[in-house]
Structures are given as structure tokens and as C-alpha cells.
Structure 1
Amino acid sequence: MQGQSEIAVNKVNDPQTLETVFAIRREVFVVEQNCPPELEWEYEDESTHFLAIVNGEPAGVSRWRKTDKGYKLERFAVLKQYRGLGVGKALIKAVLNDLPADAGYIYLHAQVQAMGVYAKLGFVPTGPQFEEAGIQHFKMVKE
């Protein structure tokens, strides 16, 4: 993919688009990263989902949900061919912009290799490194 890419991030409001979200998560987490499928699908109905489109094609996904701790950003996944174009950053910004105005405590579990993009948008690591679905993570909190 050469030249400038047009990235749009939309909130998912219909079952057909949600299937596209799940297909991208399946490709990135289950197929590529070998996450157990039974750990991948949880809290779907209580989450607000997003789909990133690059030049008209589905490219990445994310979601947020309210937990007993605060607002958790989750399931950031970008298809391999769209990485390095700013899709992850666009998804993070869209999710943050969608949170309620009174969202105080905002956090996520970042895969170690993705911590840099979160840090650029104001997240800081807290606590020890841990394993989730066979992958090393750090909890990061929005400052």
C-alpha cells in the first residue's frame, strides 16, 4: 500500500458489521497470535465496538466497556497489511472520543509490542508485566 491512506473509524451499530469486527479479531488474535478462541469472545453485548476502514476496506477493530474499575479499552486488532499506517492510533483516538465525559479512570491491557502507540496517546504502564492469553502485557492507565 503506497501513498496516503484514508482512515475512517466508525462505531458499530449493526449485526452485519459486528461480524466483520469478529472476523478481524479472529484473524489477528486466534489465527495470527494463537489466542484460545474461548478467551477471545466475552463481554460482547456490553461493549461498544469500532471498525477502522482504510481506503474503503475493513482494516482494524477495537472496543470499550465500563468495568467495576472504570473504562477499559480492549481488543485492538489491525490486520497485518494495514499495520504502520496509523490505524491503531486512529482507533485509540476514536474510542477515547466516544467515552462518556465523566469517564475518570481509563485503562487497557497492552501487548508489550504495542505499548509505544498507547504511550504516545497519554497511557502509562502501571504494575508488573503479566501474561494474558499466552501473550505478555502491561496494564496502562490514561493520564
Structure 2
Amino acid sequence: MSLLVQKVNHPEDLEKVFAIRKIVFVEEQNCPPELEWEHEDESVHFLATHNGQPCGACRWRKTDAGYKLERFAVLKEFRGMGVGRALIAEALSDLPENAHYIYLNSQLDAMSLYAKFGFIAEGDQFEEAGIQHFKMVKKI
């Protein structure tokens, strides 16, 4: 298996990222489309490919609080193949060295995956786009 995660530098790759997110979040999880596309210009995007075929995406962005990892999406047929792990690892390695506060909002079924990278749930469970989440913060 040839799994590759790369930072997005071309508009056509960004279109692939958006297509993956549309399938996973808008179609599968019924997230409102208007909530799905925001902060795109200030985000650093990543595209995962399996044997050249787009299969996953994520992004990070600097916020007032710190660095937020978000929009992790893996197409259904590629789940369980390490795509999510590869995306998290690549996004984390791309953050600036001075990124002292790294956080994300995890859907419940993804929390164990983020925990493998040192993220710990903080605060109360909450709903975002109709889906239950926990804020998770990376302990450094």
C-alpha cells in the first residue's frame, strides 16, 4: 500500500480536499454545508492519497487560543488503513516549533485515535453540527 500525505499547494489539490470533506461531513454525517466551509484561506490543508487516489484530508490553523487541528476526513472505503494516523502525524509535524497549545474538537469515535498522539479530553461533551464532540488538548 502506498499511502502519502502532502501539504496542499495547488488549487486542484484543494478541490480534492473539499470533495472528500463534502462526502464525509455533508453527505455522510449531514453537517450543514454552510458550517463546513469556513476559515479555508487561513488554514494549512493536507491531502492523503492511497496509490495516487485521494482518500483523506485535514487542516490546521492558528487561532487566538493556539493551533487547532480540524476537518479530519477519511473516505469510507479507506478507513481502518492508517490514513487518519498518517494525517494526524503529518499535520503535527508541520506545526511551527513554537506551537505550545495544540487542540482539536474530536467526534467521540475518533477520541482513541487522537489519544495515541497525546491528546487528552478537556471539559464537557458538546454538540457541533449535530454530532457529539469533546475538546482535546495535546499534552507536550
Q: Does 1:106 align with 2:99?
A: no
> What is the match of residue 134 of structure 1?
130
> What is the match of residue 15 of structure 1?
11
In structure 2, what is the Cα distance between the partners aligned to 1:54 and 1:33? 23
> What is the match of residue 93 of structure 2?
97
Which stretches in structure 2 are left out of the alignment for 5+ residues?
none
Structure 2 length-normalised TM: 0.98
Q: 1:22-77 CA distances to partner (integer Å, 9 max, x unpaired)?
A: 00000000000000000000000000000001121100000000000000000000
In structure 1, what is the Cα distance between the partners aligned to 2:127 and 2:78? 26
In structure 2, what is the Cα distance between the partners aligned to 1:122 and 1:86? 17
Q: Does 1:116 align with 2:112?
A: yes
Q: Does 1:57 align with 2:53?
A: yes
- The within-5 A match list for 1:25-40 is 25-40=21-36
Which stretches in structure 1 are left out of the alignment for 5+ residues?
none
Aligned residues: 139
Q: What letter is aligned with 1:88?
A: G
User: Percent same amino acid at aligned positions?
Assistant: 68
Match of 1:83 among 59, 79, 83: 79
In structure 1, what is the Cα distance between the partners aligned to 2:71 and 2:92? 14
Q: What letter is aligned with 1:79?
A: L
Instruction: Tell me the C-alpha RMSD between the 2 structures.
Output: 0.5
In structure 1, what is the Cα distance between the partners aligned to 2:2 and 2:114? 21
SS in 2 for 1:115: helix
